[in-house]
Amino acid sequence: MAQSFGILLKEWRSRRRLSQLELGLAANVSARHISFLETGRAHPSQSMVLRLSQSLKVPRSNRNSLLTAAGFAQAYAARSLDEPEMSEVNEAMAWMLERHDPYPAIALDRYWRVVRANRCATALLEPMGIGVNDSLLEAFVTAGPFAAALENRDEIARHLVSRLRTESAHLGGDSILDDAAERLAASLGDDGQLAETPLPAIVPARYRVGDITLSLFSTIAQFGSTEDIVLAEIKIEFMFPADDITRQALMANPQ
Q: Contact, 164 vs 184, CB < 8 A?
A: yes
Instruction: Tell me the pLDDT tens digit for each residue of 213-243.
Output: 999 999 999 988 888 998 999 999 999 999 9
Instruction: Give the chain's domains with CATH numbers.
Output: 5-69 (1.10.260.40), 84-152+203-251 (3.30.450)
Q: pLDDT digits over 108-119, tens only? A: 999 999 999 999
What's the predicted TM-score (pTM) here? 0.85
Q: What is the pLDDT of residues 70-104, one digit of tens each?
A: 999 999 998 988 899 899 999 999 999 999 999 99
Query: What span, in angstroms and rounded, lies between the C-alpha atoms of 166 and 194?
Result: 13
- pLDDT per residue as tens digits for the range 180-226: 999 999 888 866 666 566 667 788 999 999 899 999 999 999 988 88
